[in-house]
Amino acid sequence: MAHKPDPAGLKLRLIAAQRLRAVLGGDHFVPLDAADLPDGRDRALANRLINTALRRHGQIDVILAELLEKGLPSRSGSFEAVLRLSLAQLVFLPDLGAHSALFLAVEAIKRDNKARHLAGLMNAVLRKAQSNSARYGLMDESLVLPEPVRKRWSDLYGAEALSRFANALIEGAPLDLTLRDDDPGLVEALGAERLIADTVRLEQRDRPVDALPGYAEGRFWVQDAASALPARLLALPEAGAVLDLCAAPGGKTAQLTKAGHRVTALDNDPSRLARLRANMERLGYDPELVEADAANYAPLALFDAVLLDAPCSATGTFRRHPEVLWHRSAGDIAGRVRLQQALLANAFRCLKAGGTLIYCTCSLEPEEGELQVDWALDALPGLELFPIRPEELADLPEIVTPRGLVRTHPGITPGQGNAGMDGFFVARFRRTR
Ligand SMILES: C[S@@+](CC[C@H](N)C(=O)[O-])C[C@H]1O[C@@H](n2cnc3c(N)ncnc32)[C@H](O)[C@@H]1O
């Protein structure tokens, strides 16, 4: 008997559901590439569906709670992922039409042994969602953020910032690049806007970075505007020996090298260090590379400055990695806090008397930022705060706190426009003896 061909659009949904299911299970979201789905239009549509399901995860939770009185069925294969993708389409992507969301969702789970018995439920739930889709589409935007996060960040950053965070989660992040050389011709060719210092911004988000003019020639690297701040704050009187701890993929290594310092870039992950090496080769930079554990690395000679961009919960990057909002638990943060303290203690040991230590994280949690400053000042005698002055960041003085620390978040916009920046924390210390 001849095999009936799959309906158009089914394959991309099956692949999208597989990727979303992995992310729901704890994986980091990586967009589908040509190896996953060779057809560019299918790939763009599949990525749009996954992205919307992740960005609207909190609102989709509210919808699921209303539609599924008994909650999600357990051990039901791809049911949840397919349902979330279809709700994302029905409610938040009305331009794609409702018919395919319903029809293809049922077809998709009919192909899954673990879920095919739920085809009737899928159909009924999506029909109910369809008749309520206008109401769901008007749901409060702040519900995109998980409830505990909403409460914590509203207390810390205020209600107005929180509403911008929600908007930033829905909209995603623009693409920020740091330029190797000041090159007005390149800025124009990229169609970019100058932001602050040597950072430019591209609003258009769907072009692959390696297809941009100047990429292959190493004329820029990708780095969010907030992430480009710490390397500007070394305050050394002249070029010196600088240790970049936790350096891969090398955004800050490149900035420090560009500023003329002799840079040692250290990371403990060989595959990430290989990426750093490839990035430096593309840019024509030649820092010393070290594969080691930053918690116990013992250099032969001490450094004039150490920059520690510590591993953290990365909650400040939620515009580009929405899943961090759902994956991070209080326990994860506590584990990272302990690691950051071990790294801070060794960063201090690697530093000359009189040298500068920069500590930074891409986290919005005070435990990984402001509170680590208190810990370091208490636990590391000979370390003092070297406050950052607003004049040093004259293009964005409002991010310097009264204590001389830097705190950014997606509600603060560098330059013109309103597209915000990542959540970042920076503290600067000096070793006195
Ligand atoms: C936030 S990323 C660094 C980003 C980088 N500084 C940049 O600007 O491109 C954190 C890095 O810390 C590294 N890392 C985590 N634990 C480490 C350890 N114990 N020793 C050295 N590197 C570590 C990770 O492999 C990762 O590359």
Q: In this structure, are residues 404 and 377 in contact, taking their beta carbons and an 8 Å threshold?
A: no
Which residue's CA is the nearest one to ligand 1's atom 27?
A: 248
What percent of the chain stands above pLDDT 90? Answer: 90
User: What count of other Cβ atoms lies within 10 Å of the Cβ of residue 182?
Assistant: 9
Quick one: the chain helix, strand, coil %, rounded to 5?
45, 15, 40
CA 272 / ligand 1 centre spacing (Å): 8
* pLDDT over 60 at 2, yes or no: no
User: 295: Cβ below 6 Å to ligand 1?
Assistant: yes
> Average pLDDT, stretch 120-144?
95
Say yes or no: ipTM exceeds 0.95: yes
Q: What is the pLDDT of residues 176-198, one digit of tens each?
A: 999 999 999 999 999 999 999 99
Work out the burial of residue 428: count CB atoms within 10 Å of its CB; fewer than 13 is exposed, 13-18 middle, 19 or more buried.
buried
User: 268: Cβ below 6 Å to ligand 1?
Assistant: yes
| DSSP H or E segment with residue 55 | helix 40-55
Question: Apex CA 127: angle with CA 126 and CA 129, to 5°?
Answer: 60
Distance, in Å, from the CA atom of 391 to the CA atom of 399, rounded to the nearest integer, reads 11
User: 251: Cβ below 6 Å to ligand 1?
Assistant: yes
Say what the pLDDT of residue 415 is.
Answer: 73
| ω into 208 cis (within 30 of 0) | no
| DSSP H or E segment with residue 171 | helix 159-171
110 known member of a binding site = no
CA 266 / ligand 1 centre spacing (Å): 8
| DSSP H or E segment with residue 330 | helix 330-349
Mutational pocket test of ligand 1: of 177, 220, 246, 255, the residue with most ligand atoms within 8 Å of the beta carbon: 246
3-state secondary structure of 127: helix
Give the relative orientation of helices 10-24 and 79-87 as an angle to the nearest 10 degrees.
Answer: 110
Nearest partner of 226 among 188, 154, 174, 163, judged by Cα: 174
In this structure, what are the phi and psi dihedrals at residue 33, rounded to the nearest 5 degrees?
-120, -175
Distance, in Å, from the CA atom of 116 to the CA atom of 351, rounded to the nearest integer, reads 61
Say what the pLDDT of residue 75 is.
Answer: 86
User: 272: Cβ below 6 Å to ligand 1?
Assistant: yes
Q: In this structure, are residues 338 and 386 in contact, taking their beta carbons and an 8 Å threshold?
A: no
Distance, in Å, from the CA atom of 47 to the CA atom of 36, rounded to the nearest integer, reads 11
In this structure, what are the phi and psi dihedrals at residue 307, rounded to the nearest 5 degrees?
-110, 120
Q: What is the pLDDT of residues 329-349, one digit of tens each?
A: 878 899 999 999 999 999 999
Which residue's CA is the nearest one to ligand 1's atom 11?
A: 246
395 known member of a binding site = no
Alpha helices in 248-400 (DSSP H): 251-258, 270-283, 324-327, 330-349, 370-379
Token output for 257? 């090298």
Distance, in Å, from the CA atom of 322 to the CA atom of 282, rounded to the nearest integer, reads 29
Q: In this structure, are residues 419 and 410 in contact, taking their beta carbons and an 8 Å threshold?
A: no
Say what the pLDDT of residue 292 is.
Answer: 98
User: 249: Cβ below 6 Å to ligand 1?
Assistant: yes
Which residue's CA is the nearest one to ligand 1's atom 17?
A: 268
Delineate the domains of the chain, giving CATH numbers in brackets. 10-137 (1.10.940.10), 140-171 (no CATH), 222-431 (3.40.50.150)
Query: How sure is the predictor about 264, in pLDDT bands with cuts at 50, 70 and 90?
Result: very high
Residue type, 329: S
Q: What is the pLDDT of residues 29-40, one digit of tens each?
A: 999 999 999 999
Residues annotated as catalytic are 362
Place of tokens 């620390």: 405
pTM: 0.94
